[in-house]
Amino acid sequence: MTIAQWQLRAAFAARLSRMYGREVPAYTTLLDVSHEVNEDVLRSRGADAERLGSIRRVTAERHGAIRVGTPGELRQVARVFGALGMRPVGFYDLRDTAVGALPVVSTAFRPVAEEELARNPFRVFTSMLTVADRRFFDADLRARLTAFLARRELFAPELLALADRAEAERELPEADAELFLDLAVRSFELSAEPIDRDWYATLERVSAVAADIGGVRATHLNHLTPRVLDIDELYRRMAERGVEMIDTIQGPPRWEGPDVLLRQTSFRAIAEPRALRAADGTVTHGALRVRFGEVEARGIALTREGRALYDRMLALVDERAAHLPPADRGDVARAVWAEHLPVTEEGLAERGLGFFTYHVAQGRIRDGRPPSKLGALLRDGWVRAEPIVYEDFLPRSAAGIFQSNLDDTGARDSAQEADAYDAGRLSAAMDREVLDPFALYERQRRLSLTRVARELGLAAAPDVLRPGSP
């Protein structure tokens, strides 16, 4: 018996979920409430509830978040996720967002092919400490941090060897698969090893995130996030159960039009018992608040134009809400959205703001030859459009999720020059290309148009809709 790559990915996600449920019991509550909400939505909205993914996919869907210290560690993580058919997609710089400065840059590992996403869309938001950024770390701290990180080993050599094999062969024999999964899941458990209290505190003065990454000798899952079909309802029910949630739902507001991109919220980081070692060697039992539970609702992927509009709308909301109480922000956002964004999927497609795939409509009687233009094909019922779900993340929401769980914003010396971290630098560190999410959605759209042309016998694949095109 061999275990295929996608089965390894599904099994890894399921085991990680069981592990996190044991470590963070409130996560189990979050899962229970997510399931309840999803069932209720399915009952009340019927087939429409599955427009952005089958209930089977949505129920199993999770994203995790992990944090590593160095390019070398990132490269190893990429091998572990490579074994699971997950590739780095997107570059997120969290060092300068509107909601604060964090000493990390990130990418997300996920499957990219449509059929792989349908089998299991597990993804992991992965952040790397920007040790070389002088605004956060002065020369002395940088040297100590570099030495500390160089001495630790996050992944067993045996795990990495199995990972390379699984990636090359896209499967593993059952016994090897079992060993791989066991070692992989264990690499992300919270370590019981005592933490050097002074060293942790030194890094905490720069940023709690720096301490969480560089203050300990292992890595751990930071959170695991289920997907829910009604995040406002979930937020209400979690609060009802007495779980302390962060103040807001990040991302787009709730509004009357189609869901786009990603909405996320979380419960506050819980105090977890951790062993701390003092300078004199005595070990005491303290607690650290770093890990939490998050939940998300996914919407339609936006094109570059759509995304630019989203960013402009956010800036507009900031501007208009600046002098209002925080509770009014939602209403301001709804008003801005109503002014700028079409309220229907057709509107998003026609204005070139959202990504869709196109499919020959079945079972309708049509006369004559199909028109060549996409607008006419849709209007005359030859073709129907299906939204592409957003599979990625949002830098500002990510920073907001990080930030909302920190008590302290940390310290940064803005007089220093920022170090240039970009997608190319991450690609080089991993020796794997960080893929452009827009290009992936574009490819999916183009493939569907090529298929439509073939099935309808058109001379060429129709062009995508542009504002004002027939």
Binding residues (CB under 6 A) for ligand OOG: these are: 65, 67, 125, 127, 222, 264, 294, 393, 397-398, 401-402
> Cβ of residue 199: shortest distance to ligand OOG, in angstroms?
20
CB count, 10 Å around CB of 431? 9
Of 355, 357, 356, 358, the closest CA to residue 302 belongs to: 355
**Backbone φ, ψ for residue 330 (5° rounding):** -60, -45
| Residue owning tokens 């089998």 | 119
81 touches, from Ni ion, ligand OOG, none (C-beta below 5 to 8 Å by class): none
The CA radius of gyration of the chain, in Å to the nearest whole number, is 23
Choices 79-87, 154-162, 223-231, 379-387 (CB under 5 A): range interacting with Ni ion: 223-231
Q: Compare residues 125 and 180 and give the one whose CB is closer to ligand OOG.
A: 125
CB 280 within 8 A of CB 438: no
448 touches, from ligand OOG, Ni ion, none (C-beta below 5 to 8 Å by class): none
- What amino acid is encoded at 266 in this protein? S
> Cβ of residue 63: shortest distance to ligand OOG, in angstroms?
6
User: Can residue 392 be called a binding residue for Ni ion (CB under 5 A)?
Assistant: no
187 touches, from ligand OOG, Ni ion, none (C-beta below 5 to 8 Å by class): none
Q: Compare residues 9 and 123 and give the one whose CB is closer to Ni ion.
A: 123
> Cβ of residue 400: shortest distance to ligand OOG, in angstroms?
8
Q: Coil, helix or strand for 276?
A: strand
Choices 129-137, 221-229, 378-386, 461-469 (CB under 5 A): range interacting with Ni ion: 221-229
CB 288 within 8 A of CB 256: no
Taking the CA atoms of 119, 299, 446 and 373 in sequence, report the sign of the dihedral they define: positive
The token pair at 50 is 């599955």
Cα 106 to Cα 217: distance, rounded to the nearest angstrom: 20
The token pair at 209 is 């995130």
> Cβ of residue 224: shortest distance to Ni ion, in angstroms?
8
> Cβ of residue 284: shortest distance to ligand OOG, in angstroms?
27
The two beta strands, 104-110 and 87-93, are: antiparallel
> Cβ of residue 349: shortest distance to ligand OOG, in angstroms?
27
The angle at the Cα of 91, spanning 85 to 92, to the nearest 5 degrees, equals 125
97 touches, from Ni ion, ligand OOG, none (C-beta below 5 to 8 Å by class): none
Taking the CA atoms of 181, 182, 185 and 188 in sequence, report the sign of the dihedral they define: negative
**Element (DSSP H or E) covering residue 34:** helix 25-45
> Cβ of residue 184: shortest distance to ligand OOG, in angstroms?
18
Tell me which of 11, 13, 41, 65 binds Ni ion, using CB under 5 A: 65
Q: Compare residues 130 and 225 and give the one whose CB is closer to Ni ion.
A: 225
- What amino acid is encoded at 322 in this protein? A
Cα 177 to Cα 170: distance, rounded to the nearest angstrom: 11
| Residue owning tokens 């609060």 | 239
127 touches, from Ni ion, ligand OOG, none (C-beta below 5 to 8 Å by class): ligand OOG
**Backbone φ, ψ for residue 168 (5° rounding):** -70, -40
Distances (CA, A) of 372 to 61, 339, 357: 38, 33, 17
User: Can residue 294 be called a binding residue for Ni ion (CB under 5 A)?
Assistant: yes
> Cβ of residue 169: shortest distance to ligand OOG, in angstroms?
31
Q: Compare residues 7 and 248 and give the one whose CB is closer to Ni ion.
A: 248
> Cβ of residue 402: shortest distance to ligand OOG, in angstroms?
5
The angle at the Cα of 191, spanning 69 to 227, to the nearest 5 degrees, equals 75
> Cβ of residue 102: shortest distance to ligand OOG, in angstroms?
9
**Element (DSSP H or E) covering residue 62:** strand 62-68
356 touches, from Ni ion, ligand OOG, none (C-beta below 5 to 8 Å by class): none
393 touches, from Ni ion, ligand OOG, none (C-beta below 5 to 8 Å by class): ligand OOG
- Residue whose Cβ sits closest to ligand OOG: 398
User: Can residue 74 be called a binding residue for Ni ion (CB under 5 A)?
Assistant: no
Q: Compare residues 219 and 448 and give the one whose CB is closer to ligand OOG.
A: 219
Site for Ni ion in 86-125 (CB under 5 A): none
Q: Compare residues 389 and 452 and give the one whose CB is closer to ligand OOG.
A: 389
Residues 6+ apart with CB under 8 A from 79: 160, 163, 164, 167
Choices 47-55, 152-160, 219-227, 406-414 (CB under 5 A): range interacting with Ni ion: 219-227
Choices 34-42, 224-232, 365-373, 458-466 (CB under 5 A): range interacting with Ni ion: 224-232
Instruction: Indicate the Cα dihedral angle 437, 442, 447, 449, nearest 10°.
Output: 150
67 touches, from Ni ion, ligand OOG, none (C-beta below 5 to 8 Å by class): ligand OOG
The token pair at 8 is 């390894």
> Cβ of residue 77: shortest distance to Ni ion, in angstroms?
16
Q: Coil, helix or strand for 152?
A: coil
Q: Report the interface residues with Ni ion, using CB under 5 A.
A: 65, 225, 294
